Structure 1
Amino acid sequence: MNNRHAKALRWLVTAGLAGPALVVAQDQSARPADTTSSAGRQAAAAERHVMQAVEVVHRMEMDAGIRPVLAQAQGVFIVPKYARAAIGIGGAGGAGLLLLNKGDGQWSDPVFYNTGGVSLGLQLGAQGGMLAFILNNQKAVDAFLKKTSVSLNAKAGLTVVNWNRMAQGTAGAGDVVAWSDSRGVFGDAATIEVSGVRYSQNLNNAYYHRTLSASDILAGKTSNPQANLLTQSLASAARP
């Protein structure tokens, strides 16, 4: 509402032709969303992570041979930005987003995870960058849904293979395919171990404005239109 309209409403109140409540309501509707509260900051951070994840999908799409792997995947776990200092030593990492393939060319809305304590089992000094873990089967998906702390490793009965080190025709051999935009992230490791990924209740609550479980979000019990670009980008990247 511009100043002219605001002045007109206040004149109507003064003249007895409109109630003060109308002015208050109009003023409040014109205010931007609150980003000063904790929930507001969390919501803004979640939206930022989603847009960063779109960039990861676009980068993955440029990688030759990965489209059929995505098309057959059960899901994907995207870590848009991972700090160099965190790799291999469990330091501050970033947010991760889990999306499931719904089987009809569509993808679920994202579920947010905290990768702050993740350990990739790599040598110190590895580079940071974009990460994505393509979940090839239900066993890999269940690792995210059945436990509070997610582990993608042999102890969980999962094989995580390095996309940059494998023959692309054997991508289905692992339960999870680990992709990065920098070969330095995974180095020369043929297999990768991931542990310490945790469901972020705060980010999910702030993004969807409700208290939800990962299963609720993946089942479509809620949605956020801001995620449409991400889900559409994944659908495009996974199109055979």
Structure 2
Amino acid sequence: MGGGAMTTMLCFDSVDKSYGDLEVLRSVNLEIGSGVECLVGRNGAGKTTLMRLGLGLTEPNGGTVRMFGFDPRVHPEVMARVGILLEEDELFDFLRPLEFLDYCAALYGLDAGEARARAVDLLEALEVPASGRLCHQLSTGNRRQLALAAALLHEPELLILDEPFNGLDPVAVARLCRMLRDFAANGRGVLLSSHRLELVEEIADQVYFVADCAVTPWSPERVKTWYDELRVAGAGEKPPGELTG
């Protein structure tokens, strides 16, 4: 990453989140800016909840969330600056891939001709068939990549991706890693969650470990330590230093 002050795109200030009696996040303070930033942790630790809070899809019990300086629940228009890939693909199964992206372009108010050209380029780059098959006839990997194309269509400043490598073959995984690095190279930001620790180590500028209601900064090197210890121990109960203690 280059030098200079980081522009904060997404900010969590003393954020708490519970579901009934189940406390998920406690006093989370986090700023997301340019570069590739990754959330790691066990299932149910709160990674998806943190992303949904950032997107304004769920309300914190305490603290504030700001997307480009605004509460996304009060100012949903700020989400036009964000590309979103959730773990559940939101596709219209009765449309073909290019038709689906045309629909997304209309929702964003994009110029139809320019958006169509970009959609064709994205589908070609991601090796998703533009026509012929309906969305529900696509493979799991192609559905995932079509959802990614929709997230990139309006050229956002920030990508928020929940388990983006799920369902992808090795070629698609390598391509996505390159795309994310290229996306973040021009001052844009990526926040993603993943269990693929070897990929996190490869692409992340900053890592956050989510566990015990807290979000703790980790370096990519520490992720490698954890990954190596997990492979040796064959369990994922604890972070580095505790598995062997």
TM-score range, shorter chain: under 0.3
TM-score, with structure 2 as normaliser:
0.24
Greater percentage in helix: 1
Greater percentage in strand: 2
TM-score, with structure 1 as normaliser:
0.24
Structure of larger gyration radius = 1
